[in-house]
């Protein structure tokens, strides 16, 4: 109880019994481990639900060697808001595992750093067939 409650004649102060309060406190301390375990289980359940939701929307990207890809532009490469967000094309030269790839330019120049699949998109080359009918 806080001092403000003691000074005034409140029902909580009038009905306070020290023996019952001590017994309830001891019971709460005995149940503390169970409450902690329950909170741990709830947190793990929530974590698994969030993980499932995230993984269900995730589209895994895998590239093969010699695939043509474009990569996300760095912020310093963007001159203004109308600049393209993707640069390229580049060729995949090596798959290092864990969705990491080495790239090279189409002229054969190597790129020193590796790129994660989240920053890459496959370059789709569409061959259009133009049919002229008179």
Enclosing domain of residue 8: 3-57
**Res. 130: pLDDT tops 60:** no
* pTM of the entire predicted model: 0.52
Cα 48 to Cα 44: distance, rounded to the nearest angstrom: 6
**pLDDT (tens digit per residue) in 92-125:** 999 998 889 999 999 989 888 899 988 899 887 5
Residue 18 forms part of a structural domain: yes
pLDDT in tens, 57-88: 877 788 889 889 999 988 888 888 898 899 88
**Confidence tier at 23 by pLDDT (50, 70, 90):** confident
Half-sphere exposure at residue 22, Cβ-oriented, CA atoms within 13 angstroms: 3
Asked if residue 127 is part of any domain, the answer here is no
| Least confident range of 4-18, 21-35, 115-129 | 4-18
Nearest CA-CA partner of 64 in 114, 117, 127: 117
Does the residue 10 lie in any domain?
Answer: yes
53 and 99, same domain (yes or no): no
pLDDT class of 35 with cuts at 50, 70, 90 = very high
Q: Which residues contact 65 (CB under 8 A, 6 or more apart)?
A: 92, 93, 94, 95
Q: Is the pLDDT of residue 46 over 80?
A: yes
Greatest CA separation for the chain = 102
Q: Which residue has the higher pLDDT, 5 or 34?
A: 34
The DSSP output letter for 80 is S
What's the domain count of the chain?
Answer: 2
23 token code pair: 């017994």
- Regarding whether 49 and 17 lie in a shared domain, the answer is yes
pLDDT at site 18: 72
Q: Look over the chain and give the mean of its residue pLDDT values, rounded to a whole number.
A: 82
């Amino acid at each position: 109880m806080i001092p403000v409650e003691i000074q005034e004649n409140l029902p909580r102060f009038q009905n306070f019994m020290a023996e019952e309060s001590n017994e309830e406190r001891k019971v709460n301390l005995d149940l503390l481990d169970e409450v902690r375990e329950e909170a741990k289980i709830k947190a793990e359940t929530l974590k698994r639900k969030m993980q499932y939701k995230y993984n269900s929307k995730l589209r895994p990207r895998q590239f093969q060697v010699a695939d043509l890809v474009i990569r996300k532009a760095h912020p310093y490469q963007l001159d203004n808001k109308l600049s393209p967000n993707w640069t390229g094309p580049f060729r995949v030269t090596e798959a290092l595992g864990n969705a990491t790839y080495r790239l090279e330019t189409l002229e054969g120049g190597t790129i020193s750093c590796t790129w994660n699949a989240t920053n890459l998109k496959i370059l789709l080359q569409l061959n259009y067939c133009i049919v002229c009918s008179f």
